[in-house]
Copies of this chain bind each other. A is one copy, B any other.
Amino acid sequence: MSPAPAVISKTSAEPAYAQLANYLRYRIADGTYPPGSQIPPEVTLGRQFNLSPMTVRRAIGILTDEGLLKPLQGRGTFVRAIDWQNSGFSLRPLAELVSQGGNTKVRMLNIHTVKADERLADKLRVPLQTRLIHVLRLLVRDGAPVLLQSGHLLYDPRQPLVEAELDVISLSGLLSGSSNTLVKKGELETRPKTLNRGEAELLRQPEGSAAFAMEYLFWNFQDECIGCGFFLVPFPFLSFKTKIGLWFDAPERGAAGTPAAS
């Protein structure tokens, strides 16, 4: 019930701004500052915890970035009601899928040069008939195919392609964050898809079963589009989760904001 001693330990390994941010997070979680309410002004917090304005602001800035607080100039700082809007699905599950751990292998199904048809020329913004490389690969984990990739790359005769480079431009490189120095920007779109006959066979899934279809497109530092394609991942192997709001146990009211005391 009481505002709690709520001391910030200057000797703790946890920085003061993080301690204050945690303290406020707990107070929001335990209902001391319910959604819509106003938290104490920065000067008050600064006096209460013996912190300089910049440190207080930093703590508030963290919670603001997390979507928990909404500061309004001239009015005060308020607790926001939670909503999914600012949140999103992390791509980590996808990155983990292609991380090429011990039991994961890439099986090249097909690789050959093709000439850009209208659709590809439009997508990659190259002239019709431009020479491209088409790659069809299967990611196999524990003996089971989990991901089918079909991709087109710009074929640059000045830079002969090695398999390693192919790899960088497609699966692990972009997703797992290897030291990829070629790509400036990229785009990824996900939609649900029903597997057709051929896809289902390659992925050893029943025809008509559901999968994530992810289309990608990326550019180099010269702002040339250097590759496009899609991944296909049947359901059981990939799903996207997200959590919003306050995901920890609020302490009993009156307890110190942070367990790390003294």
Residues of A participating in the B interface, judged by any CB pair closer than 8 Å: 29, 31, 34-36, 54, 65, 81-85, 87-92, 94-95, 173-181, 183-194, 208-212, 218-219, 221, 223, 235, 238-247, 249
Contacts and interface: CB of A to CB of B under 8 A. Distances in A.
A81 to B, nearest CB: 4
A194 B194 contact: yes
Contacts of A193: 192, 210, 235
B184 A212 contact: no
Given A89-B89, A208-B194, A186 B243 contact: yes
A83 B174 contact: yes
Given A180-B35, A181-B34, A194-B208, A188 B84 contact: yes
Copies in the complex: 2
Contacts of A92: 85
Nearest to A222: B31
B185 A245 contact: yes
Given A82-B184, A191-B239, 16 more contacts: A35-B181, A81-B178, A81-B180, A82-B183, A85-B95, A85-B175, A185-B244, A186-B243, A187-B241, A187-B242, A188-B241, A189-B240, A191-B212, A192-B212, A210-B210, A223-B249
B89 A177 contact: no
Given A185-B246, A186-B84, A186-B244, A191 B235 contact: yes
Contacts of A192: 192-193, 210-212, 235
Q: Which 7 A-B pairs have the closest CB atoms?
A: A83-B177, A185-B245, A192-B192, A192-B210, A88-B88, A89-B89, A191-B239
Contacts of A241: 187-190
A208 B73 CA distance: 52
6 contacts: A82-B174, A83-B180, A89-B89, A91-B242, A188-B241, A192-B211
A66 to B, nearest CB: 12
A202 to B, nearest CB: 17
Nearest to A214: B240
B89 A240 contact: yes
A173 to B, nearest CB: 8
A242 B188 contact: yes
Contact of A208 (B29, B176, B208, B246): B208
A187 B188 CA distance: 23
